[in-house]
Chain A
Amino acid sequence: MLLKLTGGTVYDPAHGIDGQVMDIYVRDGRIVDRPREGERIDQEYDLTGKVVMAGAIDMHTHIGGGKVNIARTLLPEDHRGDPVDHTELTRAGCGHVAPSTLTTGYRYAEMGYTAGFEPAVLPLNARQAHLEMGDTPIIDKGGYVMLGNDDLFLRMLAAQKDQNAINDYVAWIIHATQAMGIKVVNAGGISAFKFNQRMLDLDEKNAYYQVTPRQVLKTLARAVYELGVPHPLHVHGNNLGVPGNVETTLNTIAGVEGYPLHLTHIQFHSYGTEGDRKFSSGAARIAEAINRNKHVSADVGQILFGQTVTASGDNMSQFRNAGHAHPDKWICMDIECDAGCGVVPFKYKDQNFVNALQWAIGLEIFLLVEDPWRIFLTTDHPNGAPFTSYPHLIRLLMDKTFRNEIFSRIHPDAQKMSTLASIDREYSLYEIAIMTRAGAARLVGLHDRGHLGVGAAADITVYTDDPDREKMFAKPDYVFKDGELVVRNGKVVKVTWGATHAVKPEFDRGIEKEIAKYFDTYHTVKMDHVKVTEQHIAEDGRNHVIVQACKGRRERTA
């Protein structure tokens, strides 16, 4: 099967292609250079005047696993506002803030996305995360597994175990949970909450283990680096949402001593304490730090006004913020001496000073960080806003007039505390393609996605170039997934099931003896039953694991 996509205007930043008219050939799901001698073109699409990019990649979106399903269960009233009917082709479900898995897959594809990564897979809940992702159609999936609040790691750290042993444990966890990377959420803080600590700053000690978040972060960042896992340690910082947490974030950047670090939903971690209301923007300082520290990347976690639900592993912060729940109901859970979760529905309002300033802070960060390869477009779905608001967010970044018009309507005191209106930058299509495609693929470690070079998987999105960027990005003309046309004119025309990406760093399997004994003594499941295998993932008859390379395990250091 050979496809020809003819005459589109291509944006492929991985190859420095910035709006060049060119043809793309796809054979059996992969991009090829040109047809073979005498090879027949089976289907041709005339893309003259159309914008062509790789399929978009959401590198941080809560689409599967316990807390997402709790959010779904918690909010029947929200689902009722967005029912999704069964069609000849697609199954019924529901949308808005915590959509059903089926609707999630359809809607991502209909926006031109071809992959999404669940950033908070708990080791003991990984099977559920993969089951849900397996029921998410069309797009590719993957997850970052959470460490840094689990008893075994904290215990190893407290006992000053050798870094090599830690690396083996980290690699074992990645294998056991079929993960793409490691996430740390409120390092040590979720555990500390179980010992009744209510805050944990970077250099504060966990009451039981006597280790600090700084130690947790540095050790895990180093482990990820030494194992050769392409995705840097994915960090949800300590003190989420706390005014003044900009200091914590800056110290976190400095604290990992140059190891690669990805700071997630950094908007929620960029607050100062200036002004009458002791709440101010730390965006300029954060952006400056990212600009200066080349080992650091971030995604924004933009908030957008309206109803949403926050679902997080950080039950320490979620419990602290539960008073803001809207509607007034929330769930917190301690989980398996491993992790936690907290689900709090939220309504962000443009006439609320704090919410309005949060909105402005997110946009300031987007616009002040200079390198689009190190800043990523997220709303931390659904925590800042549901993923379906991405086209609106893209317009905010690409259209200064539109942005300033909305800015002029938010809470006036928040306007006074923000420099947003003075920032002239507008993102280009090329920069959008970097942050949502090429950069995201590079950051996650998807070697054959996010670009349109020869050999890449043919995940391709085609848009009509419309000056209204919201309209343009909401409804692509065509979306191809692995070379198959899955969306036409913003509607699903074929349901495929995508795959699950994982990495398999090398490690010493001798560590299993110790882990198995630990599980037998203290846990309520056997180590072997925790493991999610490739066979488990393939068991539904549709999904399979794609192993992405860990390029070069580094020399172990003494």
Chain B
Amino acid sequence: MDDFAQASAVENVTCPFCGLLCDDLTVERDTAGALRVGKNGCSRSITFFERGTPPLLPRLGGEDASLQDAIAGAAEFLRRAHHPLIAGLGTEVQGMRAVTSLADKLGATIDHMHSKGFMRNLLVVQNSGWLTTTLTEVRNRVDLLVIIGTDVVSLLPRFFERVVWNRDSLFGQDTAQREIVYLGGQNIDTTAGIAPDGRKPEVLPCEPERLPEVAAALRALVAGKKLAATEIAGIATTALEKLAERLKTARYSVFTWSARAMDFPHAELTVQNITETIKILNQTTRSSGLPLGGNDGDVSINQVSAWISGYPVRTSYGSGHPEYDPYHFSTDRLIDRGEADVLVWISTFDPGRIPPATNLPTIVLGHPGMKFDQEPDIFIPVGVPGMDHRGVLFRMDGVVALPIDRLRSSTLPSLGEVLAAIEQAL
């Protein structure tokens, strides 16, 4: 057992702060419990691990309160509520298990802060399905990586280091020769796509909201159709034709995209054009999708929700059984239309993820560093999973789930403990 009062350097720490779940970090702890990232850090892990978490009391109506009083207050709000909304859901597996238990008991609706983007992928899964792959496959097989409308690295800083420019691979590939294509988007930082030998990636930019045209054109070309247009959203048709040919001759191409970045109406149809392109390619060669995500526990909480209820989030327990509706049960809609009457907002990893502005009674269970524009009725600071207590997180690919560890002593309760206490107090 670790003695958390001692200064120490903990090796092979799993970082919970993005969907890559790198598990090779060294994190140093001083006697006061402050953490510093040593080996294998990145901009994101340094920001998150090294952020101060001052000891903090819960607040009731803006005034310091005991944990017991805050829990009793939260239970009181929830007991009176007809339609509680539990949103944000920035948590890990064990926290989410407690969320589903409470939601079941309360008849609450649950939604995640990143659902808007996540749903763009999910609607495609539930409409036509897809072919996808996982990080270790990419690391060992990808020969052509098509990155659509994102730089990848602002979400997942070590992506290229971990799975693209790795030196060793299993099947005799010269990984430095991997081809990278950035398709769509404007002013995207493509430096991470430069090969170790200095070879530059191919960049085919377009305005972000014109990505639908580009994705549709690429699908048509891969399907063998001829296009009359000479350019699509500013990209020469010949360049797309060349890309289509390269995809057909590649042995294991991978498409990656950030559904969150596709912020235009019906972006799910663009995701679908990508995933259907992959299906066509697999008639003759191998190709796979690698949707980006996993931050703030979005993959984890949807996994838990699916096994507990049968549905991902945007699910309501209001009628006694789970009902799923990706449109009606969105946080924004339930708040805007006044359908929810209490908001429980959860963000345990990121203090920047504060609740949306609302007149609803609001209970926040979150990172102790949270700063509010509008003081919630109740704020209960909880531990950060993977720093203050143990937990389990799913990686972006939804396959690998890793334990995240406690790194220091903490007086903060875990989200699961607080939710269980609230459930008990109802």
* Contact among A76, A333, A526, A536 with B24 in the assembled complex (CB-CB below 8 Å): A526
The answer to whether the Cβ of A430 comes within 8 Å of any Cβ in the partner chain is no
Q: Which residues of chain B have C-beta atoms less than 8 A from A549's C-beta?
A: none
Indicate if the CB atoms of B251 and A525 lie closer than 8 Å.
no
**Proximity string of chain B (293-321) to chain A, C-beta cutoff 8 Å, 1 when within and 0 when not:** 00000000011101111111000010011
Indicate if the CB atoms of A73 and B306 lie closer than 8 Å.
yes
Indicate if the CB atoms of A524 and B136 lie closer than 8 Å.
yes
Q: State which residues 84-137 of A face B: CB under 8 Å.
A: 84-86, 91-94, 98-103, 122, 124-125, 127-128, 131-132, 135
Least CB distance, A192 to chain B, in whole angstroms: 11
Q: Which residues of chain B have C-beta atoms less than 8 A from A124's C-beta?
A: 134, 136, 399-400
The answer to whether the Cβ of A330 comes within 8 Å of any Cβ in the partner chain is yes
Q: Which residues of chain B have C-beta atoms less than 8 A from A102's C-beta?
A: 308
Indicate if the CB atoms of A73 and B162 lie closer than 8 Å.
no
| Complex CA distance for A536 and B324, rounded to whole angstroms | 31
Report the stretch among B59-67, B225-233, B262-270, B282-290 that lies at the interface.
B282-290
The answer to whether the Cβ of A506 comes within 8 Å of any Cβ in the partner chain is no
Q: Which residues of chain A have C-beta atoms less than 8 A from B403's C-beta?
A: 127, 529, 536
Least CB distance, B219 to chain A, in whole angstroms: 17
Least CB distance, A19 to chain B, in whole angstroms: 40
Indicate if the CB atoms of A93 and B402 lie closer than 8 Å.
no
Residue in A closest to B303 when the chains form the complex, CB atoms: A69
Least CB distance, B324 to chain A, in whole angstroms: 5
Indicate if the CB atoms of B137 and A79 lie closer than 8 Å.
no
Indicate if the CB atoms of A73 and B126 lie closer than 8 Å.
yes
Indicate if the CB atoms of B132 and A330 lie closer than 8 Å.
no
The answer to whether the Cβ of A405 comes within 8 Å of any Cβ in the partner chain is no
Binding site of B, secondary structure by majority: helix, strand, loop or mixed? mixed
Least CB distance, A532 to chain B, in whole angstroms: 9
Indicate if the CB atoms of A131 and B169 lie closer than 8 Å.
no
Indicate if the CB atoms of A333 and B169 lie closer than 8 Å.
no
| Complex CA distance for A319 and B279, rounded to whole angstroms | 10
Known: A128-B303, A521-B168. A86 touches B317 (CB 8 A): yes
The answer to whether the Cβ of B411 comes within 8 Å of any Cβ in the partner chain is no
Q: Which residues of chain B have C-beta atoms less than 8 A from A68's C-beta?
A: 307
Indicate if the CB atoms of B136 and A69 lie closer than 8 Å.
no
Indicate if the CB atoms of B307 and A132 lie closer than 8 Å.
yes
Residue in A closest to B288 when the chains form the complex, CB atoms: A334
Q: State which residues 380-408 of B face A: CB under 8 Å.
A: 390, 392, 394, 398-403
The answer to whether the Cβ of B424 comes within 8 Å of any Cβ in the partner chain is no
The answer to whether the Cβ of B187 comes within 8 Å of any Cβ in the partner chain is no
B side interface size, CB within 8 A: 67
Q: State which residues 102-146 of B face A: CB under 8 Å.
A: 104-105, 107, 122, 125-137, 139-141
* Contact among A122, A331, A540 with B130 in the assembled complex (CB-CB below 8 Å): A331
| Complex CA distance for A329 and B321, rounded to whole angstroms | 26
Q: Which residues of chain A have C-beta atoms less than 8 A from B308's C-beta?
A: 91, 93, 100-102, 135
| Complex CA distance for A72 and B315, rounded to whole angstroms | 14
Indicate if the CB atoms of B24 and A93 lie closer than 8 Å.
no
- Which of A83, A99, A194, A521 has the most CB atoms of chain B within a 10 A radius of its CB? A194
Q: State which residues 261-301 of A face B: CB under 8 Å.
A: none
Indicate if the CB atoms of A83 and B321 lie closer than 8 Å.
yes
| Complex CA distance for A132 and B401, rounded to whole angstroms | 12
| Complex CA distance for A268 and B70, rounded to whole angstroms | 58
The answer to whether the Cβ of A336 comes within 8 Å of any Cβ in the partner chain is yes
The answer to whether the Cβ of B47 comes within 8 Å of any Cβ in the partner chain is no
Residue in A closest to B11 when the chains form the complex, CB atoms: A526
* Contact among A72, A93, A332, A337 with B321 in the assembled complex (CB-CB below 8 Å): A93
Indicate if the CB atoms of A127 and B168 lie closer than 8 Å.
no
| Complex CA distance for A72 and B24, rounded to whole angstroms | 33
Q: State which residues 141-180 of B face A: CB under 8 Å.
A: 141, 162-163, 168-171
| Complex CA distance for A109 and B322, rounded to whole angstroms | 22
Q: Which residues of chain B have C-beta atoms less than 8 A from A45's C-beta?
A: none
| Complex CA distance for A83 and B394, rounded to whole angstroms | 27
| Complex CA distance for A66 and B130, rounded to whole angstroms | 15
Residue in A closest to B22 when the chains form the complex, CB atoms: A524
Indicate if the CB atoms of B322 and A69 lie closer than 8 Å.
no
| Complex CA distance for A94 and B134, rounded to whole angstroms | 29
Indicate if the CB atoms of A99 and B310 lie closer than 8 Å.
yes
The answer to whether the Cβ of A226 comes within 8 Å of any Cβ in the partner chain is no
| Complex CA distance for A336 and B14, rounded to whole angstroms | 18
* Contact among B125, B390, B399 with A331 in the assembled complex (CB-CB below 8 Å): B125
Indicate if the CB atoms of A332 and B131 lie closer than 8 Å.
yes
The answer to whether the Cβ of A74 comes within 8 Å of any Cβ in the partner chain is yes
Q: State which residues 1-33 of B face A: CB under 8 Å.
A: 12, 14, 20-21, 23-24
What is the size category of the interface that chain A forms with chain B? 35 or more
Q: Which residues of chain A have C-beta atoms less than 8 A from B310's C-beta?
A: 72, 76, 79, 93-94, 98-100, 103
Indicate if the CB atoms of B137 and A94 lie closer than 8 Å.
no
Indicate if the CB atoms of B399 and A125 lie closer than 8 Å.
yes
Indicate if the CB atoms of B320 and A85 lie closer than 8 Å.
yes
Residue in A closest to B168 when the chains form the complex, CB atoms: A521
Least CB distance, B3 to chain A, in whole angstroms: 19
* Contact among B137, B309, B311, B401 with A336 in the assembled complex (CB-CB below 8 Å): B137
Residue in B closest to A132 when the chains form the complex, CB atoms: B307
* Contact among A73, A131, A195, A338 with B93 in the assembled complex (CB-CB below 8 Å): A131
* Contact among A69, A76, A122, A196 with B126 in the assembled complex (CB-CB below 8 Å): A76
Known: A100-B307, A101-B308, A329-B127. A76 touches B324 (CB 8 A): yes
The answer to whether the Cβ of B252 comes within 8 Å of any Cβ in the partner chain is yes
Indicate if the CB atoms of B137 and A337 lie closer than 8 Å.
yes
Residue in B closest to A130 when the chains form the complex, CB atoms: B401
The answer to whether the Cβ of B97 comes within 8 Å of any Cβ in the partner chain is yes
| Complex CA distance for A332 and B320, rounded to whole angstroms | 34
Indicate if the CB atoms of A66 and B398 lie closer than 8 Å.
yes
Q: Which residues of chain A have C-beta atoms less than 8 A from B93's C-beta?
A: 131
Q: Which residues of chain B have C-beta atoms less than 8 A from A523's C-beta?
A: 136, 139
Q: State which residues 351-385 of B face A: CB under 8 Å.
A: none
The answer to whether the Cβ of A208 comes within 8 Å of any Cβ in the partner chain is yes
Indicate if the CB atoms of B141 and A522 lie closer than 8 Å.
no
The answer to whether the Cβ of A39 comes within 8 Å of any Cβ in the partner chain is no
| Complex CA distance for A399 and B303, rounded to whole angstroms | 42
Indicate if the CB atoms of A196 and B321 lie closer than 8 Å.
no
Least CB distance, B348 to chain A, in whole angstroms: 18
Residue in B closest to A95 when the chains form the complex, CB atoms: B310
Indicate if the CB atoms of B139 and A524 lie closer than 8 Å.
yes
| Complex CA distance for A151 and B139, rounded to whole angstroms | 13
Known: A127-B392, A331-B125. A524 touches B131 (CB 8 A): no
Indicate if the CB atoms of B322 and A194 lie closer than 8 Å.
no
Indicate if the CB atoms of A194 and B141 lie closer than 8 Å.
yes
* Contact among B24, B141, B162, B322 with A83 in the assembled complex (CB-CB below 8 Å): B322
The answer to whether the Cβ of A528 comes within 8 Å of any Cβ in the partner chain is yes
Q: Which residues of chain A have C-beta atoms less than 8 A from B21's C-beta?
A: 525
Indicate if the CB atoms of B317 and A336 lie closer than 8 Å.
no
The answer to whether the Cβ of B191 comes within 8 Å of any Cβ in the partner chain is no
The answer to whether the Cβ of B101 comes within 8 Å of any Cβ in the partner chain is yes
Indicate if the CB atoms of A69 and B307 lie closer than 8 Å.
yes
Indicate if the CB atoms of A94 and B309 lie closer than 8 Å.
yes
Indicate if the CB atoms of A72 and B306 lie closer than 8 Å.
yes
| Complex CA distance for A334 and B399, rounded to whole angstroms | 10
Known: A336-B137, A524-B136. A93 touches B131 (CB 8 A): no
Q: Which residues of chain B have C-beta atoms less than 8 A from A165's C-beta?
A: none
Residue in B closest to A533 when the chains form the complex, CB atoms: B403
Which B positions have Cβ atoms within 8 angstroms of A? 12, 14, 20-21, 23-24, 93-94, 97, 101, 104-105, 107, 122, 125-137, 139-141, 162-163, 168-171, 251-252, 282, 285-286, 288, 302-304, 306-312, 317, 320-324, 390, 392, 394, 398-403
- Given contacts A336-B400, A524-B400, list 14 more A-B pairs with CB under 8 A: A73-B125, A73-B312, A85-B320, A86-B104, A92-B320, A93-B308, A93-B310, A100-B310, A131-B392, A135-B97, A331-B125, A334-B133, A335-B133, A336-B399
10 nearest CB pairs, A to B: A94-B310, A83-B321, A329-B129, A79-B310, A336-B136, A85-B320, A127-B401, A330-B129, A524-B135, A100-B310
**Sample (13) of A-B pairs whose CB atoms are under 8 Å apart:** A73-B126, A76-B324, A83-B323, A122-B399, A124-B134, A125-B400, A131-B93, A194-B141, A329-B129, A331-B130, A333-B132, A521-B168, A525-B23
